[in-house]
Amino acid sequence: MTSTLFPPSLDTASAPMRLADRIAQQLAWSEDEFEAHYADPSLLAELVNWVGELGTAAAAGDADAQFAQQYLLSRIYAVHTQLPSGPTAEGSVALHAVTRRLEQDTIRNEDAWIDEAVYASIPDDPDAFVPWLKALTREHQAFKHPYYRSFIRDHATEEDFRRFVLHESSVDGRFDDLLALMQVGTDGGVKLEIAQNFWDEMGNGDPAMVHTTLFGRLIDHFGITSTELAESLSTEALLSGNLAVMLCRYRNTFAEAVGLLAVTEWLAPDRFSQVLHGWERLGLPDDGITYHRLHIGIDAHHASAWFTNVVKPMTADPRNRRAIARGALWRLNTSSRYLDRIIGLNAAA
């Protein structure tokens, strides 16, 4: 992977992250500055082609390329989901071309993890879809992953919990924003269910109980800095967060987002019960576990209501059934790889 976009000293052939980070820095340019820099069609084509080469290398298993790909996508998503303190390239057409290539390659890579035979097993009867999806989830490694059922529950140290919270920030830290993005364009019972879920995330109007505020207490308890949050996530954690943002921000992947959120909500109560057990085993401050304690009960209700009020009404359309299954499998597969990875990080620490 060579490039003339930046000086040869960047050595992009051996360190794709260096070029990814340079592009990430350009996100702080204004839209006009970014457009002017890539006004030469050949330069923009070279940039998009490099991103494509990055995706090809990532699909082939190149760990450096996988990280650079997801790091760059996460930095771009931050431009689209966080209020800026200065100029950004958010509206740039050139940036959109880069973003779409990153997204398309990520989608292609995740689809490659799915056995097409699973789609053939989707029931024709819409009423049978939810039981089928739950059975599919129960059979997946991610359903009762040993990271939660054994490691966090019975063996994790306080430092292991710190690492857990750091990586969970990729999704849990802004779950309310995902719901806000997701509800755009919906109506009826589906919109009301998303709204109820969102209002619960808002602490039902109590600022002290807003779930992002509660998660922030965990961040503060462990002294995790904004620099760590931006720079210390694994490829798998970045991917998990990126997939959630991608599916929730685009209207044509709404059904995939429904599947991803269905699995997320359904797995959360059991997972968080193990987190609570491990937290109490270590005698850590009770105030730090409020977020997970609340979600044990809340997400059990959300999962049931989500299947009833969002998933089930969509299953009359066979295209929705396939898309919901696709999003659920993306969540299960990435969760499994993420948890395998974090167990490895703990073992290596």
Mean pLDDT, consecutive 10-residue stretches, the chain (349 aa), reads: 39 67 95 96 94 95 94 96 95 97 97 96 96 97 94 94 87 83 95 94 89 86 85 88 96 98 93 92 86 79 91 96 98 95 70
Look at residue 348 and give its three-state secondary structure: helix
Which residue's entry shows tokens 């740039």?
A: 92
pLDDT of 297 reads: 79
Both 204 and 70 in a single domain?
A: no
Do 91 and 125 belong to one domain?
no
Residue-number span of the structural domain to which 189 is assigned? 119-348
Per-residue confidence (pLDDT) for residue 13, from 0 to 100? 37
Clarify whether residues 187 and 335 are in a common domain: yes
**Does residue 3 sit within a domain?**
no
| 256 and 338 part of one domain | yes
Residues 274 and 331 in one domain: yes
pLDDT of residue 347: 59
101 lies in the same domain as 167: no
Residue pair 329/118 in contact by the 8 Å Cβ criterion: yes
In angstroms, the first-to-last Cα distance of the chain is 32
Q: How many domains does the chain have?
A: 2
